[in-house]
Amino acid sequence: MTTSPLLNDTQGYIAGRWVGAASGRTLEVINPATGETLARVPDMGAEETTAAVEAAAAAMRTTPSLEQRRAWLAAIASAHLENKNELASLITLENGKPLKEAAVEVEYAAGFYSHFARQLHHLEPRPLPELIRGLRWTVHHRPAGVAGLITPWNFPLAMLAKKLAAALAGGCAVVAKPAELTPLSVIALWKLLEWIGFAPGWLNLVIGRPEPIGQVFCTHPAVRVVSFTGSTAVGKRLLAQSAPHVKRLALELGGNAPFIVFADADLELAAEALIANKFRAGGQTCVCANRIFVQQSVMDAFAPAVAQRVAKLRVGDGLEEGVDIGPLISGAAFEKVRLHVEDALAHGAQCVLGGIPAHGGKAWGNYFPPTVLKGLRQPEMLAMREETFGPVIGLATFDSEEQVIAQANGTPYGLAAYVFTSSAERARRVAAGLRFGHVGINTGAGPTPEAPFGGMKESGLGREGGVEGLFEFCETQTVAEG
């Protein structure tokens, strides 16, 4: 069991009180590096979620001023930074990522609260400059209603920050549901939120198996926005469940990111960027490169440049000094990565480094060796059709610009893409041709709080960050005065 000063209450939080599951049932939270039970958390369901939604709806009878929202957001950003080490170690304990990455995640999360604190002027009422039809017109941005937030395990605090910061900025009370695999860092955050002091009902936390909680979010009339980050399969299910109730959904779903290296690129830069991008969270991010297209003539130079760097990465318990890659989140995640590598090799790919480990997937300690494969082909190989979500680099070749744009777009997903070339002209052309919401040119950098981020096609609906992320939680209301 873990002992943290922020985890006196490993419970949910409804209407300003820490509460357990009405059924008394609990779920275990496991350290993926060791198999140790870190804590038991309540397995809450529809009853508790309904109570949380109703508490949030009651809180929203008073709309907080923009000044009040600004103060909340600034206080939450500070709470992250002041408790960075404690929050980071909880992330590492429950998620497995290296501690240095967990600390960066806490800072990144804090960035969303500070960012939205600076965006509130966009919510001032906007009078139209002229009398129209003899009337005075004003556009208001009203809080949309109770927001249901569903977040994944790969960035427990950062994915929540994108939603919670925007919801509070928009004036919405929330019910948050963290991933059941990683609720502890979020519970710790709730302790900090309690210390900041919010009126009861503004911030509710429910923890449990996802289906009953998601069902209430999608059907309760007070919930007006469901903001979800996770798999495309679950995103589609939420869309279907909420369709009869015409709710607004903000969906950040799966990706299948192409990483394109043209022959005229700086290959050392591209290799460095690929490592930084690909191995963040052990390759378990929806923006990490999944299909690496290398122009035929430079493959023999690029593959060893990548392999040399990958060979230096250290795998181990994220709490240990010097570790670059932690365990995968679960035995199921390990099996998926193994299947992708096996399938690629069976279809003719060659192993440059790593490969399938002698030990199989286990319930814990799922350390997959960082692996480099070449000779990948789309669409026949599973690793090109679906996100591998693990530390595997699969290199494929291409001949022409036109061909690689078609290959990159040849997926139902459209989240992130990366292009490496020394030609500015080509970079512009390729970016315009890619149907992806985020495009990196000569960089593997992912999203930042200041810019809108989100997917095209089956990678999602709506945007997070930027100004766009704020408007996901607002309803536009036009008032015409006679």
The residues annotated with a catalytic role in the active site are 252, 286
CA angle 433, 415, 374 (to 5 degrees): 80
Please identify which residue in 12, 214, 327, 375 interacts with ligand ADP, judged by CB under 6 A.
Answer: 214
Tokens of 31: 């350290």
Please identify which residue in 11, 49, 89, 151 interacts with ligand ADP, judged by CB under 6 A.
Answer: 151
Please identify which residue in 9, 86, 107, 180 interacts with ligand ADP, judged by CB under 6 A.
Answer: 180
Could you give the 3-state DSSP secondary structure of residue 12?
strand
- Please state the separation of Cα 22 from the chain's center in Å: 30
In the complex with ligand ADP, which residue's Cβ is closer, 150 or 161? 150
**Is 77 exposed, middle or buried, given 0-12, 13-18 or 19+ CB atoms closer than 10 A?**
buried
Based on the shown chain and the rule CB under 6 A, indicate whether residue 152 belongs to the binding site for ligand ADP: yes
Based on the shown chain and the rule CB under 6 A, indicate whether residue 230 belongs to the binding site for ligand ADP: yes
User: How far apart (Å, rounded) are the C-alpha atoms in residues 55 and 148?
Assistant: 13
Based on the shown chain and the rule CB under 6 A, indicate whether residue 150 belongs to the binding site for ligand ADP: yes
Tokens of 419: 């292009």
List the one residue out of 303, 289, 271 whose CA is nearest residue 391. 289
State in angstroms the smallest separation of the CB of 260 from ligand ADP: 26
- What amino acid is encoded at 435 in this protein? R
Tokens of 44: 């809450």
State in angstroms the smallest separation of the CB of 165 from ligand ADP: 18
Residue 426, C-beta contacts closer than 8 angstroms, at least 6 positions apart: 262, 264, 401
What DSSP state is assigned to residue 464? Answer: B
In the complex with ligand ADP, which residue's Cβ is closer, 83 or 151? 151
Taking residues 99 to 138 in sequence order and writing x for each that binds ligand ADP by CB under 6 A, - otherwise, the string is ----------------------------------------
State in angstroms the smallest separation of the CB of 230 from ligand ADP: 3
Please identify which residue in 16, 210, 304, 433 interacts with ligand ADP, judged by CB under 6 A.
Answer: 210
Based on the shown chain and the rule CB under 6 A, indicate whether residue 12 belongs to the binding site for ligand ADP: no
Tokens of 420: 């490496």
In the complex with ligand ADP, which residue's Cβ is closer, 389 or 471? 389
State in angstroms the smallest separation of the CB of 234 from ligand ADP: 4
Please identify, among the stretches 82-90, 122-130, 174-182, 447-455, the one whose residues bind ligand ADP according to the rule CB under 6 A: 174-182
Please identify which residue in 28, 82, 211, 300 interacts with ligand ADP, judged by CB under 6 A.
Answer: 211
In the complex with ligand ADP, which residue's Cβ is closer, 150 or 415? 150
In the complex with ligand ADP, which residue's Cβ is closer, 180 or 272? 180
Please identify which residue in 231, 409, 442, 443 interacts with ligand ADP, judged by CB under 6 A.
Answer: 231
Report the residue closest to ligand ADP, judged by CB: 214
Please identify, among the stretches 172-180, 314-322, 374-382, 410-418, the one whose residues bind ligand ADP according to the rule CB under 6 A: 172-180
Asked if residue 473 lies in contact with residue 225, where contact means CB atoms within 8 angstroms, the answer is yes
Please identify, among the stretches 123-131, 192-200, 206-214, 376-384, the one whose residues bind ligand ADP according to the rule CB under 6 A: 206-214
Please identify, among the stretches 83-91, 227-235, 256-264, 375-383, the one whose residues bind ligand ADP according to the rule CB under 6 A: 227-235
**Is 240 exposed, middle or buried, given 0-12, 13-18 or 19+ CB atoms closer than 10 A?**
exposed
In the complex with ligand ADP, which residue's Cβ is closer, 180 or 468? 180
State in angstroms the smallest separation of the CB of 219 from ligand ADP: 12
Residue numbers 357-416 binding ligand ADP by CB under 6 A = none
Based on the shown chain and the rule CB under 6 A, indicate whether residue 234 belongs to the binding site for ligand ADP: yes
In the complex with ligand ADP, which residue's Cβ is closer, 218 or 405? 218
State in angstroms the smallest separation of the CB of 333 from ligand ADP: 8
Based on the shown chain and the rule CB under 6 A, indicate whether residue 179 belongs to the binding site for ligand ADP: yes
In the complex with ligand ADP, which residue's Cβ is closer, 298 or 329? 329
What dihedral angle (degrees, nearest 10) is formed by the CA atoms of 156, 162, 164, 165? 130
In the complex with ligand ADP, which residue's Cβ is closer, 180 or 194? 180
Size of the site for ligand ADP (CB under 6 A): 13
State in angstroms the smallest separation of the CB of 236 from ligand ADP: 10
Please identify, among the stretches 12-20, 188-196, 231-239, 361-369, the one whose residues bind ligand ADP according to the rule CB under 6 A: 231-239
Using CB under 6 A as the criterion, which residues of the chain lie in contact with ligand ADP when the complex forms? 150-152, 177, 179-180, 210-211, 214, 230-231, 234, 237
